[in-house]
Every structure is written in C-alpha cells, then in structure tokens.
Amino acid sequence: MSEQQSAAPILTVSRLSGRIAGQQVVEDVSFEVPAVGVTALLGRNGVGKTSTIKSILGLIERTGDVTLGGVRIDRMPTHRIVQQGVGYVPEDREVFGSLTVAENLRLAERDDHPRRDLVEQLFPDLLERRAQRAGTLSGGQQQMVSLARALINENRLLLVDEPTKGLAPRIVDEVATALAEAARTVPILLVEQNLHVIRRLAERVVVLSGGRIVFAGDAAELLDDEARIQRYLGVHDAADPHDAADPHDTAEGSTR
C-alpha cells in the first residue's frame, strides 16, 4: 500500500454543490484529497473545476459538507478557511499590480515565521525583482508571485488553479518544478489542463463532467487510457508534452 493510499485524507468533499448568480455550476460533487502528494482535478472546459475550488473556499454560494483534517469548514467564511491552513493560488494570478513584489509577499504573510528562504530558493528571480511593481512583470513572473504568496506560509493544503495557463513552455517547466518541490511538504489539489504537467506531478486524479465526478483514482490508470482521455477531457495525450493541452485556453464560461 502506497503512502498516499494509507494516509487519511486531508480534504473530504461530500455532496458539494455551488451556484453563481442563481445558476448551478457544481452539482453533488464528492471526492477526497490524500494528505500527501498532488491530486489533479481535471475535466473539459466549462465543467466547473474552478467553481469547485471556489465552492470549497466559500467564494461562491454552496451546499454540502467539506472537512479539512476531519474538521468541518463548509460553514466558515473564506478568511477563516485560509486561517485553518489552506493556501490558494487563483487562476488569474490576481497580484496587486501597483505594489512591489516584496509588498505582495508581505501582505500574504499570516505566520510569525514566514518561509522566505523557501520562496527565495524556488523563485530566485523574484528576489532580484523584489522592488519592481508586480503589474510590470511578465505573465510568468506574476504566476511566480502568486505561487510564492501561498508558499510563504505553512499550509495544510494548497488549492492551485490553472498555474500554467498561457505560459511559455520554459516557464511551465519552472512552475511544475516549484509545485513538485512544494508537494514534498504539503498536499496539493491542482486544476490543470497540461497533461504533461499532470503526468509529472499527480499521483491521483479526479475528473469532472457536467458538474459531476465521473472518475476518481490513480493518475496512471487514466493517463494510460487514450480512450478515456479523449472521452473525459477531449484531448489526445500528445507525444510532444507541450501539445498535451492548450495552455492558452481561457474559456470556461460562467462555470469557472
């Protein structure tokens, strides 16, 4: 039995539903995130992956049960959930463009002993740009700031949404390396389209279709099945890792 299989789940989601402006975007979703490694949340565009993350965090209207380490968090406001040790890297980075890199990181600190050494180790370029306004950074550099803001704190769980979207292949590799390093100390629930990144990082996958879970299990079981990949994700597992999914795809409509 693997470490992931034997560890109690850090996150349990049961009968979770979410609504945005009265529209159902997540419907009766149930799954678990083990207390180690990377669990990937997959699915075609528009199926509600981002909305599932936002429902867990209480960023949209929700019903259902969500527990973190056995403690119910679905009745907590978002800031309380974050205080419980949940780090969040949003899909669109959401850096404070008018503030410097250093100011963005200081605002994110919630612990008495922020992990600045880890951030400097993973993102040395940010150390050189600490006095630069975040809004003037490239998209890849802004993604590094967004990741660094989550990793600067001790977390029990990271929720990471589309971290490689729109990035050049070299930056995709840097982001994947940073996530692999982070996953050594904190479990990650990762929304990602790039199947090369999923193959590299994820031990377990959860697949959404039509707002519901259609597959949950070992990543290799899904990724080694071309028919399932095409049926569930609508892509081919290309030999060229950067053709595995379109990182520039931004369309998830209102079900994000």
Q: Are residues 36 and 10 in the same domain?
A: yes
What pLDDT does residue 6 have? 53
Mean of the pLDDT values across residues 118-142? Answer: 92
What pLDDT does residue 164 have? 93
Is 230 inside a domain boundary? Answer: yes
Single residue among 106, 135, 154 that ends a domain in this structure: 154
Is 191 inside a domain boundary? Answer: yes
Is 80 inside a domain boundary? Answer: yes
Residue ranges of alpha helices (H) inside the chain are 3-6, 49-57, 78-83, 101-108, 116-122, 124-128, 139-151, 169-182, 195-201, 219-223, 226-233
What is the C-alpha to C-alpha distance for residues 241 and 195, in angstroms, rounded to an integer?
7
Is 147 inside a domain boundary? Answer: yes
Q: Are residues 64 and 184 in the same domain?
A: yes
- CATH code (residue 160): 3.40.50.300
Give the chain's length: 256
pLDDT tier for residue 210 given thresholds of 50, 70 and 90: confident
What is the C-alpha to C-alpha distance for residues 184 and 115, in angstroms, rounded to an integer?
15
Q: Are residues 177 and 227 in the same domain?
A: yes
Is 111 inside a domain boundary? Answer: yes
Mean of the pLDDT values across residues 213-217? Answer: 93
pLDDT tens, position by position, 135-189: 999 998 999 999 999 999 999 999 999 999 989 999 999 999 999 999 999 999 9
Q: Are residues 34 and 127 in the same domain?
A: no
Q: Interior CA angle at 243 toward 238 and 248, to 5°?
A: 145
Q: Are residues 18 and 139 in the same domain?
A: no
What pLDDT does residue 166 have? 87
Whether the predicted pLDDT of 10 surpasses 50: yes
Q: Are residues 58 and 119 in the same domain?
A: no
Is 15 inside a domain boundary? Answer: yes
pLDDT tier for residue 46 given thresholds of 50, 70 and 90: confident
Mean of the pLDDT values across residues 202-223? Answer: 92
Q: Are residues 163 and 222 in the same domain?
A: yes
Q: Which domain holds residue 125?
A: 94-154
Is 60 inside a domain boundary? Answer: yes
Is 254 inside a domain boundary? Answer: no
Q: Are residues 43 and 169 in the same domain?
A: yes
Q: Are residues 32 and 9 in the same domain?
A: yes
Single residue among 126, 154, 182 that ends a domain in this structure: 154
Single residue among 132, 154, 176 that ends a domain in this structure: 154
Q: Are residues 68 and 101 in the same domain?
A: no
| Domain count of the fold of the chain | 2
Q: Are residues 192 and 232 in the same domain?
A: yes
Question: Per DSSP, what are the bridge partners of residue 220?
Answer: none
Cα→Cα distances 75→81, 90, 159, 201, Å: 9, 21, 18, 31
